[in-house]
Structure 1
Amino acid sequence: MHSLLKRQIDKKLKGGLNDLDVFLEAVDESYLNYESQIDMLQRAMKISSDELFDANQKLRDEAESLKEVNKNLQNILESMSLDPELTLLQENFDSSDYIKNQSIEIVRINKQREELLVNLEKQNVALSEYAHMVSHDLKSPLRTIDTLINWFMQDNEEMMNETNTKSLHKILFNVEKMDLLIKGILNYSSIESQSHETRSIDLNILVTDLLKTMNISERVSISINNHLPKLLGDDFRLKQLFQNLIDNAVRYNDKDNPVITISSSESDNEYTFKISDNGVGIPAAYQSKIFEVFTKLHNKGNSSGIGLSIVKKIIEYYKGRIWLESQEKIGSTFYFTIPKTNGAA
């Protein structure tokens, strides 16, 4: 960065800035170890995500094992209530020993489950603390770069032309992009850890208010096709959920008149939400990857590559599911569910 900046700025200013080396040294110092810190954060989040996945898989396996033990115990209890003459036919059966062994097994499995949950909670806390620490360290050089570039442009306004102004604005654009990435990391790491007030939320009001605050072009048509339900939840997570899905539909739309529709339906056990767009679509080979952290299919605009990962994590927090249907150049439809037992108001 140092040699490139020096060559370009010196070329445009024709050596007109005496303290160019001092300026560039400050910028260079701001970038020091920057990429390595990002790599460390990404590796840490991936490792933690893998560990959390393994822990969840173990919990599921233990839960299935516990179901089997309970089923066996239920069978034996039922058999004990049968006619004594029938029970005597099982010559080698000792009901007391069997129940004792099953009880020991249940205690063992519950203990393992509790240990897994404790370890999982510790990993979540460690991940959140690490993300906040590294993100704070990363924001410091960003602020320095932004300040230096703006000072440089103000102090040398008479020497600035369209070309070098454009170059410096590009630097500021990338600084803003990095800041967006850091905010995305913080949001992702705090989905489960942050405490927010749970209350009855009318999604019609939430989505309508959200659209008023988002910077969306007038040529984009967004409509709610039916009356959305009320859910028990919190503003922070539900706004993040709808904002990221709507922003994704707007950002990756190549049509002259983008059309986005929001709708919902319900069954006995859950609500199903649908957000459709007429955008660029997603190739089938990538549809299973778009919810992974730091995955971007298009390098377009200020996108952190974390938005859909945040969406998935919020839906999993509410014990729901998410999937999509998409065709290239035609559009995409994202579906997600929230169980009534977990989110019905």
Structure 2
Amino acid sequence: MHSLLKRQLNKYLPEALCNESSLEELFEAIGKSYEHYDEKLSMLQRATAISSDELYDANRELEKEAARQKKVLNSLENALTALQSNFETQEVTKNIVDENFDAEKLARQIKELAQRASEMGIEKDGLLKDLARQNESLNSYAHVVSHDLKSPIRNISALIAWIEEDERDTLSEQSQQNLSLALQNLEKMDKLITGILKHATLGNKNSSNVEFNLEELLGDIQQNIFVPNNVSFQFQENLPKLCFDKYKIEQLFMNLMTNAVKALENKKKGTVRIDFKDKGDNWYFAVADNGKGIPEEHQTDIFEMFNKLENDEMATGIGLALVKKIVGLYGGKVWVESLEGLGTTFHFTLKKQEQ
């Protein structure tokens, strides 16, 4: 068992129990709770990335299968139309005896097409059920591992706080800086675990669409994130009312607005502007800043898990992956345009929903 933790436990035990051998098993069990969380975090990252890739591939297969099924149904409809038109004409007898027309062969083809459509429908149902099981397993796994990781992190944070409290007068300046750095890394790990859990379970939440005012939502986000004095927000006039899962849209805009503010840290006068267009069946939005911009070589992979826009020790590399996932859930697309030193614009579309 870690000596610091054992010392802290003994500090609050009655003197008669400090050297009690029967408590060694308890101390050992407590010590084990602080082990292996790095390994579990790595497992969770790999599981999330693998599952995301599997779901992406499965969705692509579903799209291809749907296209094949549509072709089969179109062929079936054309065959039925041809058969019906032949038997409805006044030249039925002539058509039947014509050597170029074989009603029996056509009937067999229709039967085969119907059979193929039925089989593909069964396969599609099986694939959807399998995806649902994978989602459920990933959801359960992410929650369990998240809990197992966060508990020791919080306990270690408390232990460091105790050390600072007990040794405040004897710790060197370098030791105090080291403890502060340790706390920062624990905070980063806690954020990383939270981000992974959000990404893994975002599409699995039972939620319903509600109508809300976008301007009010953006105003609430602006109040809840850190905005330095050198940064101002500009919203297009007459922002619309939207009908979506409000939580998901809040996460979407919060991540984009937070990234924009970070890009303006060294700008004397930074501006973040949000615009929209009604595209009929879709909404189009743009979140633009006049910050430092994104290098061209990083613009293709910034939406992938754990890829960061910059070397920020507290960044998790999950924010834009969440943006991409939310946009995908609503049948939209997201892309970026940026020039170094001039600014960045994130564009995305969302398919309109109904309550």
Name the TM-score class by shorter chain.
0.7 to 0.9
Note closer, same or farther for the CA distance 1:20–1:181 as it changes in structure 2 (3 Å cut): closer
Aligned to 2:121: 110
Aligned to 2:141: 130
Q: What's the CA shift string for 1:262-292, capped at 9, x where partnerless?
A: 0101122211000011222222222221111
> Distance in 2 between the 1:52 and 1:267 partners?
29
Letter in 1 for 2:292: V
> Distance in 2 between the 1:118 and 1:72 partners?
28
Note closer, same or farther for the CA distance 1:191–1:332 as it changes in structure 2 (3 Å cut): same
**Does the 8 Å CA contact 1:180/1:304 hold for their aligned counterparts?**
yes
> Distance in 2 between the 1:92 and 1:81 partners?
13
Q: TM-score, normalised by structure 2?
A: 0.85
Aligned to 1:14: none
Deviation at 1:96, TM superposition (A): 2.0
User: Structure 2 matches for 1:164-313, cutoff 5 A?
Assistant: 164-253=175-264, 254-313=266-325
> Distance in 1 between the 2:7 and 2:248 partners?
45
Unpaired runs of at least 5, structure 1 = 3-17
Note closer, same or farther for the CA distance 1:91–1:81 as it changes in structure 2 (3 Å cut): closer
Aligned to 1:68: 71
Q: Given the alignment of the two structures, is residue 46 of structure 1 paired with residue 49 of structure 2, yes or no?
A: yes
**Does the 8 Å CA contact 1:275/1:334 hold for their aligned counterparts?**
yes
Aligned to 1:8: none
Q: Given the alignment of the two structures, is residue 82 of structure 1 paired with residue 94 of structure 2, yes or no?
A: no
Runs of 4+ in 1 over 6 A off after TM superposition: 18-21, 25-30
Partner SS for 2:85:
coil
Aligned to 1:314: 326
**Does the 8 Å CA contact 2:37/2:148 hold for their aligned counterparts?**
no
Partner SS for 2:310:
coil
Letter in 1 for 2:350: I
Rg larger in structure? 2
Unpaired runs of at least 5, structure 2 = 9-26
Letter in 1 for 2:101: E
**Does the 8 Å CA contact 1:30/1:145 hold for their aligned counterparts?**
no
Note closer, same or farther for the CA distance 1:217–1:82 as it changes in structure 2 (3 Å cut): same
> Distance in 1 between the 2:338 and 2:294 partners?
6
RMSD: 2.5
User: Structure 2 matches for 1:2-81, cutoff 5 A?
Assistant: 32-81=35-84
> Distance in 2 between the 1:21 and 1:123 partners?
41
Q: TM-score, normalised by structure 1?
A: 0.87
